Chain A
Amino acid sequence: MSGIEITTPLHVRRRLRGRRLFEARILPALFLLPAGLFVFGLTVWPVFRAFQLSFTDANLAMFTTGEFNYVGLNQYVSVFTSTFFRSVILRTAVFGIACVALTMTVGISVSLLLNRDFKGRTVLAILVILPWAVPRVAAAIVWQWMFHDQFGLMNWLLYSAGFELFRGFAWFNQPVIAFTAIAIVIVWQSFPFIAVSMLAGLQSIPGEIHDAAMIDGAGAWQRIMNITLPMLKSLVLVLTVISTIWAFKIFDQVFVMTAGGPARQTELLAITTWREAFTQHNFGRASALAMVMFFILAGITAVYLRLIREEEA
């Protein structure tokens, strides 16, 4: 140190030390600041704010007088004692699980198909990705048109195939049938992601393993169930968790296709929360509903993060 002090002029030394301090401490803080502000201000803080509001009776008056009262757990009590809210939560879970099961089945089947050797396979791989790229609102609209009672392609296909019932069949008048139509849209949009991810996984399995199993006399189905899928177990799990999270967040497709009708019977948690906030202006109750959803998804996300960590280890 003393040697440098003699040979390096004082102001150069100060500047170098300043630069080192700047690059080690100030620069990273400065660079993290904007993104940090966005993430904390627009995701972390809102979650706490929603948590706070869920214990209040906040409504439109908070914009004029800025006032709201704390009502303790009342909003949660009214959510869980109302048969309507309870049925919405149950419906969201059942519909979500059904969508995940369908999406995973279709996605994995398509990935197994794409993993076979046939002409036109690369073309099919591109075609399969397309539904993923279509915006959710546009997908809901085009499927609504396909399910049109008078001029819809689906009804025409079905009654041409001999199902007389589908002549002029209304898809959106009964909740179970409307949910079937919505599930088809959801699966259509989410299977490509599963298929593409699974295909990448399938192609990472060495061919020798299959050859060995084939020599041992394992049939195609046995090879898939006993070798391929177990080898990709962690990938299948992660994909299942991701699609479960997506399924619980569904809003756009339902909002466009049925807007929750008929008689609020196809409302899912996200739609009910939105209506409570933006048509009833009951921000307190809506926040309680949102927090119910948050805790369900936080649980699923915790599982997801644990799976990722296991993958790393």
Chain B
Amino acid sequence: MNANRDFIGTDRSTAYHRMARIASLTGTYFAAILVGLFAVGPILWMISTALKPNAEIFTRTPVLIPSTVVWDRFVIVLTGDFGRYLLNSIIVSFSTVALSVTAAAMAGWVLARYPIPLKRYLLILILGAQMFPFVVLLIPIFILVRQLGLIGTYGGLVLAYLSFTTPLVVWILRGFFLSIPIELEESAMVDGATRVQAFRKIILPMALPGIASASVFGFISAWNELLFALSFNRNNPSMHTLPVALQQFIGRETTDWGMIMAASLVFTIPVVVFFLLTHKHMTKGMVMGAVKG
């Protein structure tokens, strides 16, 4: 009897702990599933809508998994007008990246290595520039681009995009150059290299991961940009980039949701792929780089 009661007593407390643990674990998994659904649900829904036949799109009881996969929409997206918008987006984004990363690699290195007068304020300016609301820059830049006769050209849009990619990319690259020991440059110069040679042959190759992630960062911000592209080329469809085309499409007709989702997917996929490849650097660039200077 006695022994039995003791047994029950200990069993009750371990049972209690086990129940508490199971309850907390169940809660954790329940929350995890909820968060996971909230995060990816819309993306899955975009993919599902883009792939299913119209009969399964326009139904009051949603069909999650398409009965047959419809690829036609992607053919139309890539060969029709959207092909043109895709090309515009690619040209503008790549030109922006090429120009801003080249300029920023040189500037970032100088800012990391040289004692520049007022450097402190220069860095604050670069950091602060990321915070500027685009609409403040939009009107003066629009007037400038229009007076230069560049409205309706790739150059006009690239010029506008340099306004927000350059400060960002300078900031990221400066951080990368700071992490490369200066001794490497010095020893190359002792061996007879000029400072430019040391930069080109020793430092640039070492900063390649940084340059890659800065490029991705610049690419994504140019690829996603709506405000400037809309303001510059609203009435000039041949110059639309993907965000403008999608915005205009949804503004004009909100009926062909399968096509809208297919086009959105083509627009989204490159960004998500690039993003996942470099997001670790990005988070660091935005928080740690910003916080720790």
Contacts and interface: CB of A to CB of B under 8 A. Distances in A.
A and B from one complex: yes
B129 interface: yes
A47 B136 contact: yes
Interface string A252-281: 100110010000000001100110011000
Contacts of A139: 42
B15 to A, nearest CB: 21
A256 B167 CA distance: 27
A130 B246 CA distance: 20
Interface in A33-69: 34-36, 38-39, 42-47, 49-50, 53, 62-63
B135 A273 contact: yes
A136 B140 contact: no
A301 B128 contact: yes
A23 interface: yes
A39 B129 contact: yes
Interface in B35-61: 35-36, 38-40, 42-43, 45-46, 49, 57-61
Interface stretch (B4-12, B66-74, B267-275): B267-275
A313 B235 CA distance: 52
Interface stretch (B77-85, B204-212, B283-291): B283-291
A121 B29 CA distance: 10
A283 B142 CA distance: 10
Interface in B120-159: 124-129, 131-144, 146-147, 159
Contacts of A278: 231, 234
Main secondary structure of the interface of B (DSSP, over half): helix
Interface residues of A, number: 93
Given A27-B196, A127-B39, A290 B139 contact: yes
A81 B147 CA distance: 33
Interface string A123-156: 0101111111111111101111110101101001
Contacts, number: 274
B100 A129 contact: no
A270 B133 contact: yes
Contact of A142 (B25, B46, B271): B46
A130 B40 contact: yes
Given A113-B31, A293-B133, A136 B226 contact: yes
A138 B40 CA distance: 14
A38 B163 contact: yes
A31 B143 CA distance: 28
Given A131-B43, A188-B38, A273-B135, A145 B196 contact: no
Contacts of A28: 110, 114, 116
B92 interface: no
A39 B126 contact: yes
A141 B251 CA distance: 10
B187 interface: no
A75 interface: no
A173 to B, nearest CB: 14
A32 B114 CA distance: 11
Contact of A138 (B143, B146, B267, B283): B267
A284 to B, nearest CB: 10
Contacts of B276: 126, 129, 133
Interface stretch (A1-9, A82-90, A243-251): A243-251
Given A31-B109, A270-B227, A294-B132, 4 more contacts: A34-B103, A134-B42, A239-B287, A300-B131
9 contacts: A46-B140, A50-B140, A118-B25, A131-B43, A134-B42, A138-B264, A151-B62, A270-B227, A297-B133
